[in-house]
Chains A and B, each alone.
Chain A
Amino acid sequence: MSLISANKKNKTNDFALGQKNITMVQAITDALDVMLERDERVMLLGEDIGKNGGVFRATDGLQKKYGEDRVVDTPLSEAGIIGTGVGLAVNGMRPVLEIQFLGFIYPAFEQIATHVTRMRMRTRGELTVPMVIRAPYGAGVRAPEIHSDSTEAYFTHMPGIKVICPSSPYDAKGLLISAMEDPDPVLFMESMRLYRSGKEEVPEGYYKEEIGKGKKVKEGKDVTVITWGAMVKTAKEAADSMENRDIECDVIDVRTLYPLDQDIIADSVQKTGRVVIVHEAHETGGVGNDILSVINKQAFMYLKAPIEKVTGFDVPVPMFSLEDHYLPSAARIQTAIHKVYSF
């Protein structure tokens, strides 16, 4: 890395720059912009991300600002994007690869399973793949077939890659910047439902949120609700409404699905003894089961009720006429909270 190197201006978090009120998709664009500016090695690759600014406009204006050799419209080929990214990353670049929808990542599965995640291990760290794969995911936006998958568990099961799924503009920006500086590959899942569902004050410029740390989004003593991504909003809504029945919920957004923040889960469950796990992915083999396993190990003797899960069913995500029945709703979560509370 002699000719191109990181140009790190502000190493520390700089909150003095001021705030802006933006959506999650704008926060993602902002993170990419900050890193393209700071680090010459950063390159964005994807389908329609250049001139068009991405199908969700996540890369809007970035090609114009940084040029066609850093924000690149690639041929339509997921395996090509990820495979080319492996070469770029091994040879000193910092590629950020957009897969247009998580449901379209499957052609690249082999590249991720055999190369992206194994290069460090196979070469004892001589060659590494510091890449970020960004993928919009999830149901609830009336998208066409296959566009609504939430298949994070394929990747949490795969050794050698971290999986992040933010639920707010602030977290999205801070976590994406951390992912782009991480020495190992990261899958960064972006909820389509949350892209424009609300605005939040986000610091301008560079700041990081720690990978592998969850966040308490609501404090309560009676029931722990654990979730991530688009379901954070739904779970919070359910938990808020339980206050009418004098049930106070601790709502945890785990934010990183691998590695999981075991402490935040254990601390809360040891306090409440009652747990509801919520995710929109299919139940069998879902990350909810890994959370159950953490609880089993760290807080089994504190449990006062069997753990409830509210998840997507073990069926392909239905087309949008029925997707609302597939997705966990606030009402289903309320039922589960009530069940564990009154056990």
Chain B
Amino acid sequence: MNFPLVRCIKEDGNMVDPSLKEKISEELVKKFYFHMKRIRAFDRSAKNLQRQGRLGTYAMYEGQEAAQVGSALALDTMDWMLPTYRDHGALLTHGAEMMRVLLYWNGRMEGSFHPGKRIFPPAVPIATQLPHAVGTAWAEVRKGTNNACLVYFGDGATSEGDFHEGLNFASVLKSPVVFFNQNNGYAISVPVYKQMNSESIVQKSVAYGIPGIRVDGNDIVAVYFETQKALERAKKGEGPTLIEAVTQRFGAHTTADDPSKYRDQEEVERQREHVDPIRRLERFMHKHGFENETWIKETEKAIETEIQEAIMEMENFPKAEIEDIFDHVFEIMPRSIVEQKNEYMEWIRGEKV
């Protein structure tokens, strides 16, 4: 099946089609650069915090910055984002509070939602969020808006039933959903060729009768414009699109995983020279007159300050209340939970022995 890899910026920073340059403003390039640098710095800080015992198990995304930032920047504020546990780079770009993202990885439920933002809590089971996107988008259609939904999932998710159910429902209902697949090559340790017999993930779109785009997921310009096109289609009532962003996870599945057991990490580091999405954008900026040392230095400093402040805020966040275990399961607490709560609280205060 013929789904050529869509690419705007070559690995050396040159443009595939130089005429596209007029669509790329300095402001846009700065946005791309700022957000990718920001989420990479966040990812590395979070990993270090976990190593120091200041966060729980953490899922890294280094290498996937172009896929996450490019797609997230294509969304409007009123569009919904349905992430997995590896998409907090996209969350941060769509307006999630950094402190809350840190809270999540520190075992706090307060970190799984983002008040006022149209962001679902991260899906922890695989692919279950795809049908949610369909329903969420359907509700927008019923309300008569033209807001759309973007749902993230990985290569492993395409083996799940919910992948099929989500795409099938969306195609039948013509839901305004962008199914954004980040094919990073591995589902924990299992490489994509063991995950499926298909040549690509994008070819599965044919089965649902919907458009499919295979994009270089390390090329933020291509990701951004292709996601934007898919969102426009969705908003015009033309239904869902499946995007496969081919990218790479440089590090482990999580801080609890050792990738050297299933792949050659030295080889990954050698490849980084070609595939690192930030380096590619830097080469593009250098070759196309967007380089601005002063601005880059200021940006890096601002990012560092923001992250340090978010870490402080996270660490100064009020301690978790025991009552929280009980208080949010139902709007009105049923008697069994009331009794369990009271009994436990009395016991822990030493009133009951």
Bound CA–CA A83/B133 (angstroms): 9
**A83-B128, A123-B112 known; A88 vs B329 contact (CB < 8 Å):** no
Stretch of B161-169, B224-232, B241-249 contacting A (4+ beta carbons < 8 Å): B161-169
User: What are 22 residue pairs bridging A and B, where the CB atoms are less than 8 Å apart in the complex?
Assistant: A3-B144, A4-B143, A75-B168, A80-B168, A82-B131, A83-B128, A84-B135, A85-B135, A86-B135, A88-B138, A88-B139, A90-B132, A107-B161, A110-B162, A111-B128, A120-B331, A121-B109, A125-B331, A127-B113, A160-B330, A162-B334, A258-B334
Q: Which listed residue (B125, B136, B143, B165) contacts A90, Cβ 8 A?
A: B136
Check if A80 sits within 8 Å of B136, measured CB to CB. Answer: no
* Residues of B bordering A, CB below 8 Å: 80, 109-110, 112-113, 115, 120-121, 124-125, 128, 130-140, 142-145, 149, 161-162, 165-166, 168-169, 172, 328-332, 334-336
A125 & B143 in contact (Cβ 8 Å cutoff): no
CA distance A127 to B112 in the complex (A): 11
Q: Which residues of B lie under 8 Å from residue A162 when comparing CB positions?
A: 330, 334
Q: Given A79-B131, A122-B112, check contact A3 B329 (CB 8 Å).
A: no
A115 in contact (CB, < 8 A): yes
Q: A110-B128, A122-B109, A123-B113 are in contact. Are A93 and B328 (CB under 8 A)?
A: no
Instruction: List which A199-247 residues lie within 8 A (CB) of chain B.
Output: 212
Interface-central residue, B140, B161, B328, by most chain A CB under 10 Å: B328
A329 beta carbon closer than 8 Å to chain B: no
Given the interface pairs A84-B169, A125-B328, the reply to whether A259 lies near B113 with Cβ below 8 Å is no
A88 touches B136 (CB 8 A): yes
Which residues on the A side are within 8 Å of B336 (C-beta)?
259-260
Whether the pair B135, A160 counts as a contact (CB closer than 8 A) is no
Asked if A89 CB lies within 8 Å of chain B CBs, one says yes
Question: Which chain B residues lie closer than 8 Å to A82 at the CB level?
Answer: 131
Tell me the smallest distance from the CB of A291 to a CB of chain B, in Å. 12
Contact (Cβ within 8 A) B113 A126: yes
A residues in contact with B335, CB < 8 Å = 212, 259, 262
Give Cα distance in the complex from A162 to B130, angstroms: 25
Interface check A144, CB cutoff 8 A = no
Question: Closest residue to B135 on the A side, CB-wise?
Answer: A87
**B-chain residues with CB within 8 Å of residue A90 when the two chains form the complex:** 120, 132, 135-136, 139
